[in-house]
A and B are shown apart, each in its own frame.
Chain A
Amino acid sequence: MIETLIGIIGATLRISTPLVFASLGEVITERAGMLNLSIEGTMYTGAFVGITVAAQTGSLTTGLIAAIIAGAIVGCVMGFLVVTLGVNQHVAGLGLTLLLISASNTANRILFTNKDGMVRVDPWKPFDFAGPIFSQYWLTYAAFLILAPALWWLLWRSGIGIRIRAVGENPESADVAGISVARTRYFALALGGALMAAGGAFITLAFLGSFTINIINGRGWVAIALVIFGRWGIWRTVSGALLFALVSATQQQLRLVPALSHLPFEILLALPYLAVIAGLAITGRNVPYPGAYLKPYRRL
């Protein structure tokens, strides 16, 4: 029993890692007043670019850096669409997601599956000490111990954070105060995109060591819900990711319990999503959306 619980906690930290990267990237973006629905495609791109570069260069670190750069570039493309051109953010984000997933799949077929089959690398291994809870990948440690505190500091204690929140709440005032709305929003999108791509790359470079189509399978959309659940706060969003992962890990164990094996497994499989929906229903009412959410900024 204790062993099972320890296993569940270990799995929770692991499952939440890509969600923490991606949802914190989305927090930064949304704090600057933009909904970035290219998140699913950006994670997918990060997963694919990461493993492709790692396989070609033989270096996982190079692969991760390439994924992060690719994510930042995707953020800038999103910026061109929604900041410079001011197009509808839903359409731009969903369009980019479709484009990025199709482009990754096409490149995957040209580079790998039409030749030698599935692309594989020897992935990062989890640290092997102090039992299943602490035997995690270095990226998991980085997400919780470095990234989350650093982003909290960035958002709430640094000048950049003030500018990001200012252009997200009231871009007119920010503009009057001498803050470049466009440049700040581009920065938020690039940083957010880099984090989303790193979350995708965690799956291919650490957890699996391989890439198949549909590798992200909706994790980006879960991250979107987690941001609202977390009310655009760093720690609340991290908690949301942990809650989702905890329910995921728990249902995987529950399904193996003989007494529950006659319950339709779909019910247990749906639990993490139901938990997020329930969480949204409870905490998601009257949430303080950033003031300039979804609104492109134009000087009159």
Chain B
Amino acid sequence: MDYKNIRRGIALVGAAAITLALAACGGSTGSSTEAAADAAAPATLKVSGAFSSSIEEPWDGVVDAALKEAAASGEITYKMVDKIGYASGAMERTLRQIAEEDKPDIIFGDSYGNEEAARAVAKDYPNIAFVMGSGGGPSGSNFSVFDNWIHEPAFVSGMLAGGLTKTNTIGIVAGYPVPEVNRIVNAFIAGAQMQNPKVKVKTTFISSWFDPAAAKDAALAQISAGADILFAERSGVIEAAQSKGLLSFGNQMDQKSVAPDSVVTSNVWNMKPTVDYIVAQVKAKSYTSQDLKDFSMVGKGGATLTEINQGVKGGVPQALADAAMAKFEEIRSGAFRVDISEGQPAGSTVKAAK
């Protein structure tokens, strides 16, 4: 063998090794993780997760966390696939594969961008409960929908922000102007303006679910335009508030730990009530398709506000905190209803979008 052939051989082996390594890595991020499946009793339900995005994304993370919690308590066994993506057919193929191979009792996941395909699969497997995050409605006998509905705590956060701002300017940095984001942002604006009619709100969409550096840049731009309170619909914003010694509000999960001297409170989504309800329904064999929206709202404990953090710089005036919590109780009891407004808020607004 001459020198050229040897080199060609090395190239082939190298190419094969790279391909294998790529396959292994791609596989492990997208592959299943088993969570606490010790000694499954016969009554334990088998649950699969199927997420378009990554569980590091807060929305998926909340659903995954609730299912892991249920698995840890022994109610269910749980196995999930994430990063399925939005490519044509990917979600349908994955759902069919889960239904055929794992034969779960329930599939939790999301059907954004795959609404028709997911419903078509559900129709073919009537014995599996499909419980999907969706912008649409329930369908057939077994396809239920849920979403995060944290506009109620967002309204109360907005009240606090309106009461705390000294420049009467509040900044909001959000992902994309889609209905599920808009209703949170609009409720926050409405709350701020109810508390303080002079408030101006500046909203920046970064056009990404994940770009904390861009989110922080946008937040710093809002600060230099006069904002002294920031609402972090996306991550990266609390860091900007903290670096300038300003107050901020978290979203989706409790974000106090990011900056304990900056985060006043967080609007938190909790999927546990939805998971508990569905597990009980399937166990009792009384599951039917439905819109599970109510289980993600304040009334049933699916949405909440974390305890107001008096440790923030300057503290929160007691009267303001009391007024906010009184409003939260009114929402919980049903005496006050927060409007759901899903239109795109303007970049700089004095009125919430309708």
Contacts and interface: CB of A to CB of B under 8 A. Distances in A.
B25 interface: yes
Contact of B348 (A86, A203, A261): A261
Contacts of B204: 252, 255-256, 265
Contacts of B236: 208
Contact of A120 (B21, B28, B258, B347): B258
Contact of A99 (B22, B177, B207): B22
A177 interface: no
A71 interface: no
A201 B35 CA distance: 33
A257 B212 contact: no
A163 B208 CA distance: 42
Interface string B13-39: 011001001100110110001000000
B210 interface: yes
A114 B15 CA distance: 32
A262 B346 CA distance: 7
Question: From DSSP, what is the main secondary structure of chain B's interface residues?
Answer: helix
Contacts of A260: 347
Contacts of A108: 56
A7 B221 contact: yes
A214 B210 contact: yes
Interface in B134-191: 177
Contact of A113 (B15, B55, B209, B214): B55
Interface string B201-242: 010110111111110111011101100000000011001000
A86 B26 CA distance: 25
A113 B56 contact: yes
Contacts of A209: 239
Contacts of A252: 204, 217-218, 221
Contacts, number: 128
A212 B212 contact: yes
Question: From DSSP, what is the main secondary structure of chain A's interface residues?
Answer: helix
Contacts of B26: 98, 102
B90 interface: no
B7 interface: yes
A84 B14 CA distance: 11
Given A11-B220, A85-B10, A256 B225 contact: yes
A208 B221 contact: no
Interface residues of B, number: 46
A154 interface: no
B100 to A, nearest CB: 26
Contact of B207 (A15, A87, A269): A269
A256 B346 CA distance: 9
B21 A99 contact: yes
B258 A265 contact: no
A207 interface: yes
B28 A212 contact: no
Given A257-B348, A261-B346, A213 B22 contact: no
Interface string B50-80: 0000111100000000000000000000000
Contact of A210 (B10, B14, B212, B348): B212
Nearest to A120: B258
A253 interface: yes
Interface in A184-210: 203, 207-210
A56 interface: no
B295 to A, nearest CB: 24
A261 B348 CA distance: 6
Given A108-B56, A113-B56, A252-B221, A85 B11 contact: yes
Nearest to A258: B348
B97 interface: no
Contacts of B33: 114
B127 interface: no
A255 B349 CA distance: 11
B202 A256 contact: yes
30 contacts: A7-B220, A81-B14, A81-B18, A99-B18, A102-B28, A103-B25, A105-B56, A106-B29, A109-B29, A120-B258, A125-B243, A132-B224, A203-B213, A207-B216, A208-B213, A208-B236, A212-B56, A213-B57, A215-B210, A217-B211, A248-B217, A253-B221, A253-B224, A255-B204, A255-B221, A261-B346, A261-B348, A261-B349, A265-B204, A266-B207
A-B interface, 10 closest residue pairs, ranked by CB to CB distance from nearest? A7-B224, A214-B210, A252-B221, A261-B347, A102-B25, A261-B346, A258-B348, A85-B11, A217-B211, A261-B348
